[in-house]
Amino acid sequence: MKVVNLKQAILQAWKERWSDYQWAINIKKNLGTKGATWDYLNLAEALMEQALIGPSPNPLILSYLKYAINSQMVSYSSVLTAISKFDDFSRDLCVKALLEIMDMFSNHLSCHGKAEECIGLCRALLNVVVWLLQGCAWYCDRLRELGPSASTEASLGACQERLHSLVSSTKNRALVHIARLEDQGSWSNVEQAIVKVTDGVANVANQTLKSKLEESVSLVKGIPHMLTAQSDPPAQPSFPSVHAFIMLEGTMNLTGETPPLVEQLMMIKRMQRIPTPLFVLEIWKACFTGLIESPEGTEELKWTAFMFLKIPQVLLKLKSLQSERGQDFMDDVNGAFEYLLKLTPLLDKADQRCNCDCLNMLLQECNKLGLLSDSNATNLSSKREYAPRLKTTENANIQPNPGLILRAEPTVTNILKTVDADHSKSPEGLLGVLAHMLSGKSLDLLLAAAAATGKLKSFARKFIKLNEFPKHISGEGSKSASVRALLFDISFLMLCHVVQTYGSEVILSEPSPSGETPFFETWLLTCMPEEGKILNPDHPCFRPESGKVESLVALLNNSSEMKLVQMKWHEICLSTPAAILEVLNAWENGVLSVDAVQKITDNIKGKVCSMAICAVAWLVAHVRMLGRDEREKPQTMIRQLVTPLYSENTLQFYNERVVIMSSILEHMCADVFQQTGLQLRPVLEGQEPIPYRNLLPAKEPVHEALRRQFQAVLRKGWVDSRALHLLESLLHIGGVFWFTNNLVKELLKETRKEWANRVAELLYSIFCLDMPQITLTLLGTILPNLLTDPAHWHSLADPPGKALANSFSPHHKGHASARQRKRQREDIEPSKLMRLLSSNEDEPVTLSSPGDRSMSSSLSASQLHTVNMRDPLNRVLANLFLLISTILGSKMAGPHTQFVHSFMEECVECLEQGHRGSILQFLPFTMVSELVKLPAMAKPKVVLAITDLTLPLGRRVAAKAISAL
């Protein structure tokens, strides 16, 4: 009835020629409605219908409409919706009147009502954009049919102007974007209208009008891509994060798989917005630096393999990612090399170190993989200015490592094939291959090449299989017995060497297919000393059957030479520790003389070096348990076993095997000998006995060592390999909290912006040592402590506070997203979920202040997506955002609130790059209304970035926040 009465009231007012305010008073008195219920009665539409009956609009009724708009009797959305329903563009005067009505409020569109009303404004805006596009298309058609006409052009210009002023506002575009997501089908109306306008533009003779129309249409087309627009990257000469990450991977993780490495690099690139040529350059710079400063020997070979074999594969992966986005990666690699050519001192030093033209080899490798075109590779090669290379007489004949590594890579594949063949008939052929691997630095070369190309695990599996092979004895002569002993010994030595160089996980990571554990794996787990692993010398693994032990002791003690026929080497190795204990006890009790012990140790190491390794493995565990005075005799035995034997009757390939045996034993004994400050053997001039071992000064407090090392890194500007190893041992000694907390304190001491940012960069580099645990500690303990304790607030002031906020907010997003998988719904009951996601008019979702922690208000997108809160990182982030929400809602301001602002700005800054991160899904929806009070956050694009627009609740929150801006 009220709707009927409304129409009658309008007609009566018109007949009686009431003025606008008289009409308003009477209509309110007679229909007695309040506030938004005028929209419910469609007042705007009713007035417009009556006003636009004739060919020209009715001025009196239009004045009622204008009065209703000015006195806020009707909402902007109801007026826009009513306008968009008018479809007769031939009535020019009516269209003109509607455009003038729009002018009354289109430059300050807003809505301060419930979320549902704000969504209404979004829909109305989208409808009016369609209406204006249809108007433009209609006038373009008219120009095509009737030819040029000043009045039609004026009408087209009027529509175009309104469209442009509407969509040139980011706020309005954001609201239309929300409407598009709210009702997926509605956007097709816009697209159809765009097609008609685009077709009709050709008929517009006026060039100015034509270009303005095209500009307006492109603005509308860009609405779905609002969040992907990139801002310019900051100008920066170098990127320590990339440098440190490459250093860390090259020093400690040669065997790591390529995809995670690529993912992490891409994340750093995205977060710091590093242009691709500079990004590739930084990778090469880090490789050259790592190679130049790596210690001689195995470490240098590992770096060479990393740089010449692994990094080109990493770039190949990056290339495939770039080509998906349609970017030309080859140009970027070429650009990176152009920059690299300017760093002549770096290239000269690398050439001098490797005794070859490193850059040329890299260019050839990149060209081979399709990372550089032939012409670019030739051009770059010709630009390299040669420095005089130091080819002294002694190193002129040494082949350069890069060349050796590149040749070793195909050899690895061939060796794997050879070892796979059936050797049960004639194992001698296999022995030749293995002996060749032992000569010189072949083994280290092959292992480094295998590690860099992901073949090390299969390499290790083959040697385990080979080590099992000599178990099977049938009637054998002395020749086949010595071949069997050598096969066992060489494979055992190689496996020990792999474990010490690349870690036991390379060998233990895959269970054997047969189900039974091979001998070497059992021995490795129970008997082999490693850094950080303490063994019990009385463990049953060192105590085999007494009969076997007695016969072994007798064998070692009596015979001048061990017989090889029918020897079960696996059993001998397991019996050796117990035999050594017998010998040691006999020596200590005066039953054996020093010479007799020397004869026994010569017997142990003279034929099969593996026995010496098993003996020393037990002695090391035994010595750890002894007092200083009791260590002399067992340490003497260790020294006797380490010293090579120079006699005629040793087994074949003895010299090659002894070199590896000595290196394995040196690693095993390093810790025990260091405890008492002794050395296993005299140190050669200028050579570290074992690189990166025992780097910590003996009597310095650990926090002092950490501070000093960090200051050294800060002065240098990057984290080198030695510093990484030292910091890693400090991390293990002090624990994650101690390590992270002390380094954050170092950052908060800085008072200059430039240095604070530099420290933050370096901290990220160092935190890569154990990113998951350090992230949890930083976000879960250290940061909440700083934010909740007023005594710490002063330390969060700028610049260190801002540097801290910038340093970790973006980077950890990657770790959050890497852990996001499809989850089971486990956080919210389905009934509550349905109520939250319903958009029922009678039960709108109210968005209250942060103080009111009602179910709907403090929810975050993560809860509505049911993210697994058992994941520690998700739990830490959810708690952190609740804390931040409380700080933003409190009335207390200070450096801590300033820090929160910087932190949130950084989170948004990273999101605006079109990468939908998941860190902000933990933000409670109530926080949005608090955040938009901050000047830096009061932007439509920010609101779109921090709300999850895939959720109905997220869209309501965004619409409400943007409408109020």
Q: Report DSSP letters for 743-762, one per residue.
A: HHHHHHH--SHHHHHHHHHH
CB neighbours of 178 closer than 8 A, spacing ≥ 6?
119, 122, 944, 949, 955, 958, 959, 962
Q: What is the pLDDT of residue 81?
A: 95
Q: What is the pLDDT of residue 416?
A: 87
600-627 pLDDT tens trace = 998 888 888 999 999 999 999 999 999 8
520-545 pLDDT tens trace = 999 998 899 887 788 888 888 888 77
Give 234's pLDDT tier (boundaries 50, 70, 90): low
> Are residues 486 and 652 in contact, defined by beta-carbon separation less than 8 angstroms?
yes
Comparing 27-41, 414-428, 703-717, the range with the smallest average pLDDT is: 27-41
Q: What is the pLDDT of residue 917?
A: 52
Residue 112 scores a pLDDT above 60: yes
Sign of the Cα pseudo-torsion (148, 151, 154, 156, in order): negative
849-886 pLDDT tens trace = 333 333 345 678 777 777 788 888 888 988 999 999 88
Mean of pLDDT values over 133-160: 92
| 862/873 Cα distance (integer angstroms) | 13
> Are residues 240 and 197 in contact, defined by beta-carbon separation less than 8 angstroms?
no
Closest listed residue to residue 400, CA positions, set 308, 336, 283 = 308
Q: What is the pLDDT of residue 824?
A: 28
Please tell me the pTM assigned to this model: 0.79
| 226/912 Cα distance (integer angstroms) | 9
Closest listed residue to residue 315, CA positions, set 355, 287, 356 = 287
Q: What is the pLDDT of residue 844?
A: 35
Residue 367 scores a pLDDT above 90: yes
| 778/797 Cα distance (integer angstroms) | 18
Residue 629 scores a pLDDT above 80: yes
> Phi/psi zone of residue 24: left (φ > 0), alpha (ψ -120 to 50 degrees), beta?
alpha
380 half-sphere exposure, CB direction, 13 A CA radius:
27
Residue 559 scores a pLDDT above 70: no
CB neighbours of 489 closer than 8 A, spacing ≥ 6?
569, 608, 609, 610, 651, 657
CA dihedral 277, 282, 283, 287 (to 10 degrees): 140
| 383/177 Cα distance (integer angstroms) | 52
Percentage of the chain exceeding pLDDT 90: 45
Residue 837 scores a pLDDT above 60: no
Residue 804 scores a pLDDT above 80: yes
Residue 838 scores a pLDDT above 60: no
Mean of pLDDT values over 446-456: 94
* Mean confidence (pLDDT) of the chain: 84
Residue 306 scores a pLDDT above 70: yes
Rg (CA), the chain: 39
Q: What is the pLDDT of residue 855?
A: 36
Q: What is the pLDDT of residue 167?
A: 94
Comparing 339-343, 544-548, 849-853, 909-913, the range with the smallest average pLDDT is: 849-853
Token reading at 867: 């993210």
What backbone torsions phi and psi does residue 452 show, to the nearest 5 degrees? -70, -25
| 572/570 Cα distance (integer angstroms) | 6
Give 38's pLDDT tier (boundaries 50, 70, 90): confident
DSSP state for residue 782 in the 8-state scheme? I
Token reading at 6: 């409304």
634-664 pLDDT tens trace = 999 999 999 888 777 678 888 889 989 999 9
Q: What is the pLDDT of residue 856?
A: 44
> Are residues 642 and 420 in contact, defined by beta-carbon separation less than 8 angstroms?
no
51 half-sphere exposure, CB direction, 13 A CA radius:
24
| 31/41 Cα distance (integer angstroms) | 11
Percentage of the chain exceeding pLDDT 70: 87
In degrees, to the nearest 5, what angle opens at C-alpha 161 toward C-alphas 155 and 167?
Answer: 135
Q: Which residues pair with 508 in a beta bridge?
A: none
Q: Which amino acid is at 132?
A: L
Give 473's pLDDT tier (boundaries 50, 70, 90): low
